[in-house]
Amino acid sequence: MGEYRLTARLGEGGQGVVYLGVAPNGAKVAVKLLRPEMAGDEEALERFVREVAVAQRVAPFCTAAVLDTGIADQRPYIVSEFIEGPTLDAVVRSEGPRSGSSLHRLAIGTVTALVAIHQAGIVHRDFKPSNVILAPDGPRVIDFGIARALDRTSTLTAMAVGTPSYMTPEQIAGHGIVPATDMFAWGCVMVFAANGAPPFGTDTLPAVFHRILSLEPDLSMITDPSLRELVGECLAKEAAERPTAEQALLRLLGQNTAPRGVPQQAAPLSGPGGPLGAPSAILAQGSAVAAERTGGPYGEPPAPAYGGPPPAHTAPGYGPPYGGPAAHTGPTGFAPGHPGQTGHTFPGQGPVPVQAYAPPAEHHGYAPPQEHQQQYAGPPPDRQAFHEQPTYDGRQTYAARTAPQPHQGPPPQQPGYGPPPQGGGTPGKRLWLVAGALFGVALLAGGGIAIVANSGDETKPDDKVTTASRTDPPTAPVSSPPPSVPPVAEATRRFKLPGTNSTLHESDEDPIRLTSYSLKSGESLYTRKYGSNGFDVNKVYFDYTVSDDGTKALGTDRQYTTDNYSVVSLIDRTTGKKTSLKLTKAPIYPTLPQWSRDGELGLVTLYRAVGDTSKPYGYAVIDIDKRTARVVRVKETDAGTWSYFWRGDGRAVGTWALKGDTKRIRFYDLHGTVLATLLDVGEPLTVESDDISPSGKLFMTYCRGTTEQICLWSTDGDAEAVARIPFATDRVVGWWDDQHIAAWRKTDQGGYEAVVVDFEGNVERVLATATAAEYKSAYFRYTRQS
C-alpha cells in the first residue's frame, strides 16, 4: 500500500481494517485502511487526507505518532508508529482492574498524550480503553485525529460517533466538541481501568445516555483521593467545569494549577529536571513518569507494568443508589435498602441541645470541630479505619435546651425549609433521546433511531447497529401492582398513646412497629418498652431509634458534657445499659440517629447552630462494636439541609442536594467523598422511617410539581417513575412492604390518620390517628421488624 509492505492483518473495526506493515527503512508500522464510503468522491478524499495530516503535528509523548497518510484504490489510509503491547481494554478484561501506582502511571501517561494532542489543536473525540496501548515504555494513545477527519467528511459522519459508553453530555446533546470532551472520556477510561467496567454501563443506548446525562458514577474503586477527585471533576456534566488536560497533568505531577477550565499560564514550574515552563518539558516529565516500571513484562513476575494480581472487582461503576454489589437480591443486583430519612429537614431556627453559655471574651464564635477521619485509602472501609471518639461516663447535670424537630419549622423562606412544590412547574431535563441531538444518527425511520455503536475493539469483525425506540414519558400513573399483593393484616389492638389523644392501631403481624414518638417539637420523648406494647416518657434523649432486631437503640442525649460536647448513646434495650460517645463540640449538634441494615453502623446528621438558625454541617458514622465514631464535614454547600440516610448496603450515605430549582440525591462514602448523584427524581418528600422499599428496589419522592402524587423510582436509575400513587400527603411514614407505603392524610373531621396505601392509592388500613395540633408538632418513628 503506497510504499508500505503489508505483512499481516491485525484486526478490523468500525472505521476499517488495520494491517501490520513495513516502511522503506525497515521499521514496523500500523496501516489503517478506511472503509470505501468515500470512493469516487475526490473532494472528500482530499479533505480527509488534509485533516489527518494535522495529526502529524502531535508531539511524540505517550502517543503513537502519525507518520503518513494517502489514498489507495479510492480508499484513504493512515500510517502510524507500530506499538507493541496489548490494549488497556484487553488487559483489564483479562487481568482485572488497575490500582495503586500502576493506575497513577496510566493516568499520567494518558493525560500526557491528551496534552500533546490538544497542543496540536486536535480533539481526539474517541478516547476509550481500546485506543490505549500498554507498551513496555508506558501507555500510548492511538487513533487521534481520525474522528475529526471523519466528522468533517459528510459521507462518513455516522462512523465518527465515538463509543457510546465514553461519550459526553455535549456529544449526546449535539453541542460542539471541545478539548474538555476528551477529559470527560479520560475520566470514564480511568473508572474503567480501576473498576473493570465503564462508569455509565454498556447496556441499551437509552440507559447509557440517561446515566451520562443524569447520574454521577461511583468512584469509590479509585482509592487515591487526589486521583479520585480529579476524575470526578473531569466527569462534570458541563464542559466548562472540567479541568484542561494540562491542568490535570500538572496536578498528577504534584504542581499547582489554575482553576479548572482556565487555560494554564506559562509560569515557571519546578520539576526533577528544573523549571517546567516550556510545554515540552511538561510532556517530557509526564512521559518519563508514565514509563516507570515496577516489574517484568506482562504476565511475568514480579508484576506487570500496570498492576499485579488484579483485585476482585464489581459491577459497573455507575452504581445505582440505595444499593451496592455486596448483597445481590434480584434482577437489579442491589442490596436491600435500610430505613432512612431522605425526607427530614430541620427548621432554620431553634437552639441546639446545650445549656446556653457565652464563649470566653476573646472568642467571637466557635471554630468547627476537627474532622475525625483518615484519608480515604480504599473501597468501603473496614471497622479498623474508624478513629475513636472518647467514651464519656460523666455527665453535666444542668437541664439542656431543646433542638429543632423535623416537622416544625419557620416559614418557607427560612433556612432548612423550601417552598412546597407548585403545580404546573416547568419539567426538568428528561433524558429520553432527541433525534438530531445525537451524534451518529444514521437513520430516522418508523419512530426508531438507528445508531452506529462502535465497540472500538479493533479485533472484532463486525460493527454493531442498535435500534432504540423513542419512548415518551408516561402521562398517566403507572399503578399496576404485582399480581400477588400480600394482604394487609387487620389491626388486633387499639390504644391511646401516653401523653396524647392519638390512637395506635396495630397487630403482631405488622412488618413495622412504632418504637418512639416525640411531642411538642421535641419537648418530650416516649420510647417503647422492650418486649412490651407500653411506652414510657424518656427525659434522657432527644431522638431515639431502635435496631431492626429490637435489642439495641441509638439516642442523641439532651445534655452535653461539661466541656460542651454532644453525646450519642448506644443503649442495650435488653439490660438497660448504655455506652455514651462524645461526638461534636457546640455549636455542632447531632440528630436523627439511624441504623444500617446489618446493625453494624449508626448514622447521625450534623447541623451547626448559627444564631437562631441551623446550618448543614455533615454527618457522623458510628461503629457499634468498637464504640467509635467518625465525624465527616461535607464541603458541598447544597447538601445536608435534608437529613442523611443509609444507602441499601450500609456503606454509603445519601441526602438531597438542592440548588435553586435543581433537586438531586447525592451519595457519599463513609469519609465524605462523593460517589454518585441521582438527578431528576422529583421533589423531596418528608419520610419518617423507611424511604426505601424492603427489597431495596424502589424509593419514593413527590412527583414533579405536585404534592398529590407520590412517585416510586427504581434504584437502578431508570429515567421514568415505576409508579405514581395518587395520594395527597405532606408526610409519609415509610414503606409498609414492597407493595404498600404508609402515609398520613387529613380526615374529614380535621384530624390526621396514618394509613397503609397500595400503588393505586387505595387505603387498606389505619395505623394511627392524631389531632391536628399533635400531628403538626409530633414525630413518629417506626422500625421494621426483622
Point out the residues that are catalytic.
126
Residue 456 and residue 126: Cα distance in Å, rounded? 9
**Residue given cell 482530499 in the structure block:** 46
DSSP 311: P
Answer for the pair 500, 774: CB distance below 8 angstroms, yes or no. yes
Report the phi/psi class of residue 78: left, alpha or beta, with left for phi > 0 and alpha for psi in -120 to 50: beta
**Beta-strand pair 75-81/66-72:** antiparallel
Answer for the pair 407, 688: CB distance below 8 angstroms, yes or no. no
| Type of residue numbered 385 | A
Which string of DSSP letters, residue by residue, matches 547-612?
A: -TTSSEEEEEESSPPTT-EEEEEEEETTT--EEEEEEEETTEEEEEEEE-TTSSEEEEEEEEEETT
| C-alpha cell at position 52 | 489527518
Question: How much is the CA Rg of the chain, to the nearest whole Å?
Answer: 30
> Which residues partner with 653 through β-bridges?
646, 668
Three-class secondary structure assignment of 710-732: EEEEECCCCCCCCEEEECCCCCE
- Collapsed DSSP state (helix, strand, coil) of residue 365: coil
Sign of the four-CA dihedral 160, 164, 165, 171: positive
| Type of residue numbered 244 | T
Phi, psi of 678 (to 5 degrees): -105, 120
Angle among Cα 154, 156, 162 to the nearest 5 degrees reads 115
**Residues in CB range of 763: below 8 A, 6 or more apart:** 745, 755, 756, 757
| Type of residue numbered 187 | G
What's the distance, CA 422 to chain centroid? 28
Which string of DSSP letters, residue by residue, matches 165-206?
A: GG--HHHHHT----HHHHHHHHHHHHHHHHHSS-TT-SS-HH
Residue 368 and residue 346: Cα distance in Å, rounded? 20
Answer for the pair 250, 264: CB distance below 8 angstroms, yes or no. yes
- Candidates 70, 79, 77; CA nearest to 22 is 79
Expressed in angstroms, the distance from the first to the final Cα of the chain is: 72
Q: Where are the beta strands (DSSP E) in 115-174?
A: 132-135, 138-141
Is the bond leading into 587 cis (omega within 30 degrees of zero)?
A: yes
Which string of DSSP letters, residue by residue, matches 730-769?
A: S-EEEEEETTEEEEEEE-TTS-EEEEEEETTS-EEEEEEE
Answer for the pair 231, 187: CB distance below 8 angstroms, yes or no. yes
Answer for the pair 720, 707: CB distance below 8 angstroms, yes or no. no
Q: How far is CA 193 from CA 24, 98, 135, 198, 369, in A?
A: 37, 5, 16, 8, 37
Q: How far is CA 543 from CA 124, 276, 427, 516, 692, in A?
A: 55, 57, 37, 9, 21
| Type of residue numbered 654 | G
Answer for the pair 655, 643: CB distance below 8 angstroms, yes or no. yes
